[in-house]
Amino acid sequence: MMLLFNDLTRKREEFVPITPGKVSFYSCGPTVYDYFHIGNARPFIVFDVLRRWLEHEGYKVTFVQNFTDIDDKMIHRAHQEHITVAELADKFIAEYNRDADALGIRRPDVSPRATEHIPEIISTIEKIIANGHAYVSEGDVYFDIRSWPKYGSLCKQNLEDLEAGARVEPGEKKRDPLDFALWKAEKPGEPSWPSPWGKGRPGWHIECSAMSSKYLGDNIDIHSGGVDLMFPHHENEAAQSEAASNSGKPFVNYWLHNGFLLIDSEKMSKSLGNFLTARAAIEKYPPLALRFFMLSAHYRSPINFTPESLEQSSAGVERLRNCKGDLDFAAKTRRNDSASFDVDGYKSQLQELDKKFSDAMNDDFNTAAAMGILFDVVYLINTTMKDNETLPGEFFTLSQNALKGYDDILGVIGSDEAENDDAEIESLIQERTEARKAKNFKRSDEIRDELKERGIVLEDTPQGTKWKREL
């Protein structure tokens, strides 16, 4: 049984998919006007891991994440850069993919772009108007929140409080300050598309309603995003989608929102000068450490991005990787299939830990607790190798598979790929081994220091010298 905290009810609920064995999952993606920042990276990483976990649990998941490629920020930036909005979008979609790939974030099953779904958006708006929940006003179309009694039910605010903070732009023709644009009439110099209400462009929220409905249907299992999207974006999305479908069914069964990422205990903002793109973070810290950091706290808690926390995360990743490296090395040097070893006992210990890991992941996706279990697995492997001179192949197969299984979900260990200086490194190690045999420690330490400079760390073991690349 899987429990998920549903922001609709503010409770942990058992996850029951609409269709047994299948999950429809929509996650809000980036507005592609710039590189995405480290705060954006949190939902991308965390919900990608949730997606993997759902698949691990046997669900066939359809994961949709949009690209918002038309809005005020897009238009503004394109003007600045003297390029078209479409060119800007193409560029930053490519940059998104580059950074997301580097962070080990799997590509969604569908990555729809708003501008490629104008007909769907228009027909969604038409349905909302036909159902009496939107009105046309001088080329704009607004959602009529007063016609929607459930409005405010996701963010749990009453309309008066929301209204107190509502902002009305000059030129907007709203009946109520909280009404929001589904369609915006064309302004000079802005991209526009023909519509029944004249030329214009879609509002911010409507694309998600139109595209989620197209790819996932009117009633979807999971919708995720950052907490700050809860209002107004998700509140509006839900109102639109339900007003359009008019089916009486909720737009979303489980709303999931990740907590905010702070930098040095402050909200990231350009004015504070603590703005950090994912690109810059990847250049500064190992992607594995960034993932480790994101998964080391519960996804709904706030996390604080500091140099110290990233160093700690890097050290944690090192421990995981050391275990994998030691295991792989021992598999080559200490394997002995006739060694006496209680394979069944070991297997049941691993299974017990695996059960704990699953329990943690199924308890509102508690990756922090699950990572704790991963370290327990590491400890079991390390102590087993410590206590046994040689081990049978089954030990290595079981252990390696266990680590790989966890890493397929969390992506915090990684694998080592051969590089073209491998042979040279190994020949230097061979030379060092000869030097050590001859008690020429000066030469042997020289070689070790030289390799250290190049990010290669040597470890001498009774079975020979093992080496690894630093993160």
Partner RNA sequence: GGCGGUAUAGCCAAGUGGUAAGGCAGAGGACUGCAAAUCCUUUACCCCCAGUUCGAAUCUGGGUGCCGCCUCCA
Helix, strand, coil shares of the chain, percent, nearest 5, are: 50, 15, 35
Q: Give the shortest CB-247-to-RNA separation in angstroms.
A: 26
Nearer to RNA, 98 or 249 (CB): 98
For the record, the structure tokens of 437 come out as: 């045999």
Least Å distance between CB 19 and RNA?
26
Nearer Cβ to RNA, position 82 or 386? 386
Residue closer to RNA (CB basis): 127 or 448: 448
Looking at the DSSP bridge assignments, the partners of residue 441 are none
* Minimum CB distance to RNA, residue 307 (Å): 10
User: Minimum Å distance from CB 133 to RNA?
Assistant: 19
* Cβ-defined contacts of 270-275 (< 8 Å, 24+): 275/37
- Cα separations in angstroms, 398 against 292, 325, 332, 351, 463: 24, 15, 15, 10, 22
Q: Long-range CB contacts (< 8 A, 24+ apart) of 245-248? A: 245/127, 245/213, 245/218, 245/219, 246/127, 246/131, 247/218, 247/219
State both tokens at 194.
């023909």
The distance of closest approach from Cβ of residue 337 to RNA in the complex, given in angstroms and rounded to an integer, is 23
Give the residue with the Cβ less far from RNA, 247 or 301: 301
**Residue 442 Ramachandran class (φ > 0 left, ψ -120 to 50 alpha, else beta):** alpha
Q: Tokens 């732009």 label which residue?
A: 169
| Cα distance between residue 356 and residue 294, in whole Å | 21
- Determine the length of the chain: 471
- For RNA, the closer of residues 120 and 235 by Cβ is 235
CB of 3 to RNA, least distance (A): 7
- Nearer to RNA by Cβ, of 246 and 372: the residue is 372
Residue closer to RNA (CB basis): 247 or 265 = 265
DSSP state of 52: H
**Distance of closest approach, residue 66 Cβ to RNA, in angstroms:** 11
Q: What secondary structure letter does DSSP report for 252?
A: E
Tokens standing for 102?
């580097």
- Encoded tokens for 204: 């911010």
**What b/e string do you get for 242-260 counting C-beta neighbours within 10 Å, with b at 16 or more?**
bbbbeeeebbbbbbbbbbb
CA dihedral of 381, 387, 391, 396, whole degrees rounded to 10: 0
Phi, psi (deg, nearest 5) at residue 27:
-125, 135
Q: Decide whether 130 or 168 has the Cβ nearer to RNA.
A: 168
- Distance of closest approach, residue 100 Cβ to RNA, in angstroms: 13
* Least Å from the CB of residue 304 to RNA: 6
User: Nearer Cβ to RNA, position 21 or 439?
Assistant: 439
- The answer to whether the CB of 210 falls within 8 A of the CB of 218 is no
